[in-house]
Structure 1
Amino acid sequence: MTASPARLSPTQLGAYFAFTEVSALLRHAVEKQLRDVGRLSYVQFQLLARLGDSPDGRQRMTDLADGVVYSRSGLTYQAQLLEERGLVTRSPSPEDERSTVVAVTDAGRTVLAEVFPGHVELVSSLLFGDLSDGDVDELARILERTRDNLRAIPPRSAAPRRRRTP
């Protein structure tokens, strides 16, 4: 006798579909605003915003890849595009020259300053506009718990690299 496949309850399925739809609609609107105002992709914005939030405006590429949940090679390409625009610099890490450090430039901070007001307004109105403060607290609590559960299994970008054996 084979075990029956796992199923989602109607409520779970509805929550899943609502979450994916909200996520897709919000991301579409955010990506349009980022392109229109800053000529940035969603990933480029995440990269710049994380650097802008760093105390010294710098992070290792692998830490950025983990934070934005993006492949190392994909993030390297996005960082290259930002570097070509003069928004970031890349250099070997002083602690480990095998690692690359990305730093936001003054031009990158200027683009962030141009993009942030519209970004905050958009997220505020689309995601939180119809929610009470209590709803937002509950949403934050639920999403943080879900995120922590998902982060318990590191994304591929954060998993230790396998060493090739000769």
Structure 2
Amino acid sequence: MADSPPSLDPVQLGAYFALIEVASLLRHAVEQQLREAGDLSYVQFQLLARLGDAPSGSHRMTDLADGVVYSRSGLTYQAGLLEKAGLVVRGPSADDERSVTVTITDAGRALLGRVLPGHVEVVSSLLLDPLSRDQVEALAGLLTPVRDHMRATPPRSAAPRRRKDGA
């Protein structure tokens, strides 16, 4: 008799489906708010927020790709759109000429300042307001080790690039 495939019990399945549904509903609302408030995609907002949060206002592209869990090529495209809009500038890294550094501009900081209050309102009203402070702390306590476990594998940028010829 063959081993049966792994399965989830009803509680595990319920937790998984609830997490996926909450994440999908929240992301949809956040994306809508970002489009309306700043004509930004979710990834573009993540880039600006990470840059705006950095003391120098800069990050290497590879680090940004790992942080926002996005492909290098997709991130390059999104950073290019932000650069065309005058929200970031790209240039060679000071400590590694092979790396590209992205820096938020004053216009990028201003846009971030305009969209952030609405972003916080959406996250608060949909995710945090229905929970008590203790529940929010418990949620963070539950999700943090899961995130850390998932992030324990080498970042995608560390994986070798596949060649187009399949070799």
> How far has the Cα of 1:97 moved from its partner?
1.0
Aligned to 2:19: 19
Q: Does residue 66 of structure 1 match 2:66?
A: yes
Counterpart of 2:158 in 1: which secondary structure? coil
- Which secondary structure does the structure 2 equivalent of 1:40 belong to? coil
Task: Report what 2:122 is aligned to.
Answer: 122
**Identity over aligned residues, as a percent?**
67
Q: In 2, distance between residues paired with 1:116 and 1:162?
A: 35
**Separation in structure 2 between the aligned mates of residue 76 and residue 162 of structure 1, nearest angstrom:** 15
Counterparts in 2 of 1:53-92, with a 5 A limit?
A: 53-92=53-92
- Per the TM alignment, residue 2 of structure 1 is displaced from its structure 2 partner at its CA by 2.3
Offset of residue 3 of structure 1: 1.7
Q: Distance in 2 between matches of 1:160 and 1:122?
A: 35
Q: Following the alignment from structure 1 to structure 2, what is the Cα–Cα distance between the partners of residues 58 and 14? A: 41
Q: Structure 2: how far apart are the matches of 1:6 and 1:130?
A: 34
Instruction: Tell me, in whole angstroms, the C-alpha distance in 1 between the residues paired with 2:52 and 2:108.
Output: 8
Q: Aligned pair in 2 of structure 1 residues 60, 3: CA closer, same or farther (>3 Å)? A: same
Listed as ranges, the gaps of 5+ residues in structure 2 are: none
Unaligned runs of 5+ in 1: none
Quote the offset at 1:155 in angstroms.
Answer: 4.2
Please state how far the C-alpha of 1:163 moved relative to its aligned partner: 9.3
Counterpart for residue 159 of structure 1: 158
What is the CA–CA distance in structure 2 between the aligned matches of 1:67 and 1:132, rounded to whole Å? 29
Name the TM-score, length of structure 2 as normaliser: 0.94
Aligned twin of 1:132: 132
- How much does 1:115 deviate? 0.3
Pairwise CA distance, 1:162 = 5.3
- 1:101-148: CA deviations, max 9, x gaps? 000000000000000011101100100111000000000011101101
2: CA distance, partners of 1:45 / 1:111: 10
Q: Distance in 2 between matches of 1:29 and 1:163?
A: 35
Which amino acid in the other structure matches residue 118 of structure 1?
Answer: G
Name the CA shift for 1:162/1:75 in 2 (closer, same or farther; >3 Å). closer
1:39 is aligned to: 39
Question: Quick one: distance in 1 between partners of 2:159 and 2:19?
Answer: 30
